[in-house]
Amino acid sequence: MQHIIDRFISYVTIDTQSDSSSETTPSTEKQWNLAKKLAEELRSIGLEDVSIDDNAYIMATLPSNVDHEVPTIGFISHFDTSPDFSGTNVKPNIIENYDGNDIVLNEEKNIILSSSYFHDLLQYIGQTLITTDGTTLLGADDKAGITEIVTAMEYLVKHPEIKHGAIRIGFTPDEEIGRGAHKFDIEKFGAKWAYTMDGSQIGELEYENFNAASAKITINGKSVHPGYAKGKMVNAVLIANHIIADLPRHEIPEETDGRDGFFHVHTVHGEIENASIELIIRDHDLQRFNERKELLKVLVKKYNHKYDDCISLELKDQYFNMKEKIEPVYHIVEIAKKAMEDIGIKPIIKPIRGGTDGSQLSYMGLPCPNIFAGGHNFHGKYEYVPVESMQKAVEVIIRICELTAHQ
């Protein structure tokens, strides 16, 4: 267990925060610091074909050790951390034999990780937790995933009696700004399917995510002196207001969960002459997703009819539910599920209310469900990871390799 802790700490203490305002890949120069170290480490544990390209994408191979044909599979993680919270000077705190009580992350600043607020903590009583010191995020998202993959590969190299096909490893920059898959060369990767090790609590197994689109509605009004405006003024603010009021009132993020989709109006700008509404649309179901987009078109048409074509709509698809790509190859989910059950983990299969790099990769031709990496409370100072969960993830990876060779 100390081995996993040491490896994890060696990664999280290197700042790799990504930056969506940057155009380069990786988005921040500092991501190279960990990328180079990882490439070096993959070589030193005995993997082959270790490569790091100009955009800091890392790939490596654990060659097959069986004679029969086995599909090449992959494991993928990202080494950047979220721009939402500082990743500079991460000072991990190790709590052995966790007793279920509140954890004081930072006495000076009175920052407390409380089990009465974060109930999930209670399932880890008796385990070893790694937390922050309250001033940064931890970076278990997704350096836990990287730790697990490297550790599993190292184990397989040292234990040739465990039989497996060729295993490909992929580590990416910039996942947190939605670009982790953008420059991922799936041809070069050459796997039939892969798993992102990027989920949260132990047992998570995900192959459904939202269909996602963004929309911007722009309204051009006509400003006229209000005393003489009858029949002449077109008030863009009020039209924006009508459009928003026509959206389904309860289909919003704060009132939906599970597989219920929503409209989320997140930005409104307005004056009489000009107003805009920016919103996102989310739905797991493709038909309902399309209906939501259609509703926006209908509303814009309705008010264009009334207000002389002063409204325009810009709709952009962002990503799609990977379920469409996973269901035809559902055995890849079954393998992960069986791997968990074989080592005593109860799989938690649930739809992601967001997107993952796996969904983009799935649409690029590499079906890619998501498996737990073990951490909780991502992207903030309350982030923590139980070491036992990381250990279990290592075992899941090893078992998946084994099961694939048996198939």
Coil/strand/helix, residue 238 = helix
Closest CA to 322 of 307, 333, 311, 335: 333
Main-chain phi, psi angles of 376, to 5 degrees: -135, 160
Q: How far is CA 19 from CA 42, 89, 94, 355, in A?
A: 26, 17, 29, 18
Q: Is the peptide bond before 142 cis (omega within 30 degrees of 0)?
A: yes
Nearer to Zn ion, 133 or 141 (CB): 141
Nearer to Zn ion, 263 or 319 (CB): 319
Nearer to Zn ion, 85 or 303 (CB): 85
Active site residue 41: no
Instruction: Report d(CA 112, CA 131) in Å as an integer.
Output: 11
Minimum gap (Å) between residue 402 Cβ and Zn ion: 26
- Identified catalytic residue from 175, 204, 208, 395: 175
Nearer to Zn ion, 26 or 221 (CB): 26
Minimum gap (Å) between residue 348 Cβ and Zn ion: 17
Nearer to Zn ion, 292 or 392 (CB): 392
* Residues at the interface with Zn ion (CB under 5 A): 141-142, 198
Active site residue 175: yes
Coil/strand/helix, residue 169 = strand
Closest CA to 166 of 35, 56, 67, 77: 67
- Binding site members for Zn(2+): 78, 141, 176, 198, 379
Minimum gap (Å) between residue 80 Cβ and Zn ion: 9
Q: Is the peptide bond before 198 cis (omega within 30 degrees of 0)?
A: no
Question: Is the separation of the CB atoms in 399 and 235 below 8 Å?
Answer: no
Amino acid sitting at position 55: N
Minimum gap (Å) between residue 151 Cβ and Zn ion: 18
Minimum gap (Å) between residue 174 Cβ and Zn ion: 11
Q: Is the dihedral of CA 34, 36, 37, 41 positive or negative?
A: positive
- Identified catalytic residue from 15, 19, 80, 357: 80
Count CB neighbours of 85 within 10 A. 19
- Residues with a catalytic annotation lie at 80, 175
